[in-house]
Structure 1
Amino acid sequence: MEHTEANKPKRIGVIGVIHETNTFAPGLTGIDAFGGDWVAGKEAFLNRYTGTKTSMGGVIDAAEELGIELKPGLYTQATPSGMVTDEAFRQIVDGLAQSIAADIDGLVVILHGAMVAESVPDAEGEILKRVRERVGSEFPVAVTLDLHANISPEMVELSDLIVAYDTYPHVDIYERAVEAVHLLHDVMNGRIKPVQKWIHTRMLVAPQAMLTSSGVMKEMMDLAFELEKQPGILNISVAGGFPYSDVVDAGMTFVVTADRDMALAERCGEQLLAAAWERRERFVVKQAGAAEAVELAVSFPEGPVILIESSDNVGGGSPADATHLLPHLLAASKKSLIVIRDPEAAREAAALGVGAVLKCRVGGKSDDLHGEPVPIEGKIRTLFDGNYRHIGAYMTGQYARMGQTAVVECGNVTIMITEERVAPWDPGHVRFVGLLPEQFHMIVVKAAIAWRTAFGDVAKHTIEVDTPGCCTANLHRFRYTDLQRPIYPLDSF
């Protein structure tokens, strides 16, 4: 059957870049950091992401469900880290803009929301500006964002729809992409005309306070879900923000999207703002010092006890080589597990081989903030090339790379030394080297909340640890220069 212009299948494009930029982290992020996930064109996109529980997998499945022809452009991502170089950002933005197909009816842009380049503090705003230059001001554009996005007014003005993740750990990435495609499809077919209201809470919140399955952040999400039930509300995105990007709009924001009714969006936004401000003191995280935390963990009769070293949160851009806890673990009477990035030590272990004794100084080599190298001596139990796919609930099927990896047993402490930074987002990062988390009394996680998708099912107790690092929950440790002030809890109101 021949299609007329009116009934022919719609075509949507999809492009994206994900980088959570920690402006306090050591070093810069160049284009090489994005090389592991630089996927361009339909065939490469489908081969890489079909069947995965990722944003890209969600776009693929939703397009198929709706009978939409998908025309992928460039998608790339890098592990959270320091400021993106201007040269890398320029290559990425040019690549994204040039990869947008000319014959599409709508566009999905997959972004993080906390990307910062050396000369471009609002990287996503700049990306969307370039998108608009390519497709025009009236063209339907839907954006997916991370829950930790620092959403700017420009990002809202330059998009028709913003759909942020509702969960942390982020286990609904796939579903939010499906939702974005469905809403975009409705826009393209004239069934809805979205208007978006942006609200900044004037609150700076540490990721450690953003668990969405319980506590204060869940209360905010539940309120948003209740408000979403109102006729005319299309989506409410609650973005906790990313306090480790020193940019003007860092902090908790809301985007309320309504169908043609800005007054309705504004009323919902006011309710959310009042609820957040009323709860502001509950968003402040309480922690224990390194020695106190290990002593407390040892006192528990049953493990695993999760020692949350969020100051070295890999998912927040940290170097993953902090050693503040290691000396205390080495002196402790119970078994523990810690993962430390140290390329030099990992390669030395590989050269020695399984069964040999590794004697070296490990960790603490990235800067002065994350501790000093600690002397260790232990038997090399396992060597692994570091390549695996996620087997847990977070981005199931996603490729992951740790680089050369060595498991070294130093008395009661098992140290997993990796060549690359690895976030504890997935149980595979320890299970693929033959380690069973339930066999350790203490497990150090270099994460804030996302560790729960790896160890949440075995954890008996958790302890928040206050150590120096570029992702500490103690936001008073940082010297902000660009953040708009006043903001809670840094300032008095």
Structure 2
Amino acid sequence: MRIAVAGILHETNTFAPGVTDLSHFRDQWTVGLEAFTSRYAGTRTSMGGVIAAAASHGVQLIPGLYAAATPSGMVEAAAGDALIDELVESVDSSAAGLVIIMHGAMVSEQYADYEGECLKRLRAKLGTDYPIAMTLDLHGNISEEMVRHADLIVGYDTYPHVDMYERAVEAFDLLIRKIRRNIRPVRALAHTGMLVVPQGMLTDEGSMQQLMELAFSMERIPAVLNVTVAGGFPYSDVPDAGMSFVVTTDGDAELAHRCASELAQMAIDLKASFNVSYLTPREAVAEALAQPEGPVIIAEGSDNVGGGAPADATHVLAELITHLPHKALIVIRDQEAVEAARHAGIGGEFEGWVGGKSDTLHGKPVRVKGKVRLLFDGHYRHAGPYMTGQRAEMGFTAVVECGQLTLILTEKRVAPWDVGHVRSVGLWPADYHIIVAKSALAWQTAFGLFAKHVINVDSPGCCNANLVHFDYQRVLRPVYPLDETIAPIPRFRVFDEA
């Protein structure tokens, strides 16, 4: 048996500054078996899971295009079309089926539902009977088009995401069963009409944990093949943005309908509990310094790199450059500052304006003075539980010591998903009383083992947790929390090819 695999992965923040072009996908651009296995074999990624599953089933893997970019702003039209064209062309129509790896919240200038458009184009080439399994991020905004064209949808069960390998194996196993006609997948999609911020989606506590536990209990029903809980991505202004559920059963449309509606109703009943409390940057730093033991994580979710933010917000940095009684660490993406540090050299004096250069929303540049401690090419591999073995590249990187403040300056935006973010430049999290993480929750896979206290900070930014600050134009209304009243289970659809 021959199984195709391909994918395009991007989480698009339509409120983020700038556009995402084809060059942003080049760091993770692979075509063909040799490139795909060389990069991903042995990694705890979705791609690594597909490779391992193919080997366990004794089938031949036929990789087409796989390309990914760090979350960022709107994908420009030319890039969107070029990616779809190459993806569709690369999929082997003679294979027995396809595993397609996508995010679920990709948006281009011409396609609000990019994943749905990809699947529609694939169906036009491959036909309606060609088995397709899709893996999705927990933050996917799932559309009817996606559920209509993918026989199987398997989303991550964790946030922070530490199970993409397992979910890819699950999708592969289900695809094999579909190909062998051992199952007849029926899908039910229920949309809640709720926008939930990432900080409210931690899957091992609170309301999200309750939803996951209900989903897992449903998966123990013999006829249920998979339950996908998608928290959604509120920073994509698209009609399908928000929390939704996909329940896939073996030929039982009524069961799929009942399970999906029960999950959606539970989420709606819990809607107020997904809110999180925050402090201003000044209050957050004061609170962190008052803690008797560190590290204290100041989670600067409004500049969440993993949500498409520019990584150069200075609202917290401005509070840290004054005299600090304890050591603090922050990472800022600033190509100009990196070049200045590079010019000064290791041991040289650095003085210049840092951050606040992407737009005015994320703060003004801050004057910083210090000594260049280290210069580094920015390459490392993930060593922690998030996508273990995955390559990461910060671009040229400088470490500048400014008294008690350690500043890591990077050329590229890299989310703090792994401890290698700081370990690669010779630093250790436990040595700091304050660590500023430009992340909502995914920082836990890097610093969770070290954190003694966590403070969520409310500052201006394109990933701000107060969604009323954003000018939504395309999301379907009414939607909570933009609108207080929403209809119970406002959108529902069952897909049964019987």
Same fold? TM cut 0.5 = yes
Which residue of the other structure, out of 452, 464, 468, is the alignment partner of 2:456? 464
State how 1:21-60 maps to structure 2 within 5 Å.
21-60=12-51
For 1:116, the equivalent position in structure 2 comes to 107
> Could you tell me which residue of structure 1 aligns to residue 238 of structure 2?
247
2:461 equivalent to 1:474: no
What amino acid is aligned across from residue 408 of structure 1 in structure 2? V
Equivalent-residue separation in structure 1 for 2:276 and 2:253 (angstroms):
35
Q: C-alpha distance in 2, partners of 1:430/1:226? A: 39
**Identity within the alignment, %:** 57
TM-score (ref. length: structure 1): 0.97
Question: Secondary structure at 2:385's aligned position in 1?
Answer: coil
Helix, strand or coil at the partner of 2:86: helix
Structure 2 residue aligned with 1:383, among 349, 358, 375?
A: 375
Query: In the TM superposition, what is the alpha-carbon distance from 1:150 to its structure 2 partner?
Result: 0.3
* Matching of residue 491 in structure 1 with residue 459 in structure 2: no
| SS of structure 2 residue aligned to 1:231 | coil
1:226 corresponds in structure 2 to 217
Partner of 1:20: 11
Given that 1:293 and 1:465 are in contact with CA atoms closer than 8 Å, whether structure 2 keeps it comes out as: yes
Deviation at 1:102, TM superposition (A): 2.8
Which one-letter code corresponds to 2:270 in the other structure? Answer: R
Aligned residue number for residue 198 of structure 1: 189
Which residue pairs with 1:273 in the alignment? Answer: 264
Aligned mates of 2:39, 2:327 — CA distance in 1: 39
For 1:492 and 1:114, the matched residues in 2 are separated by 24
Please say if 1:393 is aligned against 2:385.
Answer: yes
After superposition, give the CA deviation of every residue in 1:135-178 in whole Å (9 maximum; x if it has no partner).
Answer: 10111000000000000011000110000000011100000000
Instruction: Name the Cα RMSD after superposition.
Output: 0.7
Amino acid at match of 2:406: T
Q: Distance in 2 between matches of 1:462 and 1:200?
A: 31
Structure 2 partner of 1:311: 302
User: Secondary structure at the residue paired with 1:449?
Assistant: coil
Matched, 1:178 2:169: yes
Q: Once structures 1 and 2 are overlaid, which stretch shifts more, 61-70 or 309-318?
A: 61-70
Q: 1:341 aligns with which of 325, 333, 336?
A: 333
- Within a 5 Å distance, the mapping from 1:406-425 to structure 2 comes to 406-425=398-417
Q: Structure 2-normalised TM-score? A: 0.96
How many Å apart are 1:277 and its aligned residue?
1.1
Distance in 1 (alpha carbons) for counterparts of 2:291 and 2:207: 27
Runs of 4+ deviating beyond 6 Å: none
* Aligned partner letter, 2:46: S
Per-residue CA shift, 1:183-230, capped at 9, x if unaligned?
Answer: 000000010000100000111000011111112111110110011111
CA distance in 1, matches of 2:466, 2:435: 22
Q: Could you give the per-residue CA deviations for residues 3-35 of structure 1, whole angstroms, max 9, x where no partner exists?
A: xxxxxxx21100001100000000000000001
Q: Distance in 2 between matches of 1:284 and 1:140?
A: 39
- Written as runs of structure 1 = structure 2, the 5 A alignment for 1:132-147 is 132-147=123-138
- Offset at 1:490? 1.1
Q: Match for 2:229 among 238, 241, 249?
A: 238
Q: 1:103 Cα shift?
A: 1.7
Aligned residues: 484
- Following the alignment from structure 2 to structure 1, what is the Cα–Cα distance between the partners of residues 225 and 287? 47
Partner Cα distance (1:492, 1:85) in 2: 34
The residue identity in structure 2 corresponding to 1:283 is: F
Other-structure match for 1:4 = none
- Distance in 2, matches of 1:22 and 1:102, equals 33
Paired residue for 1:430, among 413, 422, 429? 422
Query: What CA distance in whole angstroms lies between the structure 1 residues aligned with 2:89 and 2:139?
Result: 28
Q: Distance in 2 between matches of 1:13 and 1:131?
A: 12
1:3 alignment partner in structure 2: none
Contact 1:311 1:469 in 2 (8 A): yes
* Paired position in structure 1 for 2:150: 159
Would the aligned equivalents of 1:239 and 1:252 in 2 still touch at CA under 8 Å? yes
Secondary structure of 1:242 counterpart:
coil
Please list every run of 5 or more consecutive structure 1 residues that lacks an aligned counterpart in the other structure. 1-9
Q: Which amino acid is 1:251 matched to?
A: G
8 Å contact 1:38–1:74 — kept in the other structure?
yes
1:333 Cα offset (Å):
2.4
Counterpart of 1:394, as a letter, is Y
Does structure 2 conserve the Cα–Cα contact (< 8 Å) formed by 1:256 and 1:265? yes
The question of whether the paired residues in 2 share the 8 Å contact of 1:166 and 1:221 is answered with: yes
Task: Give the counterpart letter for 2:32 in structure 1.
Answer: G
**Partner letter of residue 156 of structure 2?**
Y
Asked whether the 8 Å contact 1:211–1:218 carries over to 2, the reply is yes
- The residue identity in structure 2 corresponding to 1:340 is I
Return 316-325 or 269-278, whichever deviates more: 269-278
State the alpha-carbon separation in 2 of the partners of residues 45 and 319 from structure 1.
Answer: 29
Residue in 2 aligned with 1:62? 53
SS of aligned partner of 2:111? coil
Deviation at 1:116, TM superposition (A): 0.3
Alignment partner, residue 98 of structure 2: 107
Report Cα offsets for 1:344-402 as digits up to 9, x if no partner. 10011112110001000000000010000000000011111001111111001111000
d(CA) in 1 for partners of 2:82 and 2:56?
A: 33
Post-superposition shift, 1:492?
Answer: 1.8
Q: Aligned with 1:154: secondary structure?
A: helix
Q: Which amino acid aligns with 2:61?
A: L
Query: Contact 1:403/1:419 (CA < 8 Å) preserved in 2?
Result: yes
CA contact (8 A) 1:161 1:184 kept: yes
1:120 aligned counterpart, secondary structure:
coil
Instruction: Please list the CA deviations of residues 80-112 of structure 1 after superposition, one character each: whole Å capped at 9, or x if unmatched.
Output: 000001101111101100001132011001000
Give the aligned residue type for 1:295.
A
What amino acid is the match of 1:252? M
Find the residue that maps to 1:381 and give its secondary structure: strand
- Using the TM superposition, name which of 329-338 and 349-358 deviates more: 329-338
Residues 285 and 474 in structure 1, CA contact (< 8 A), matched pair in contact too: no
> What secondary structure, in the 3-state scheme, does the structure 2 residue paired with 1:479 have?
coil
Distance in 2 between residues matched to 1:196 and 1:164, nearest whole Å = 13
| Equivalent-residue separation in structure 2 for 1:301 and 1:57 (angstroms) | 42
What does 1:82-93 align with in structure 2 at a 5 Å threshold? Answer: 82-93=73-84
Q: Which amino acid aligns with 2:109?
A: E
- Matched residue SS, 1:107: strand
- How far the C-alpha of 1:466 sits from its partner, in A, is 0.2
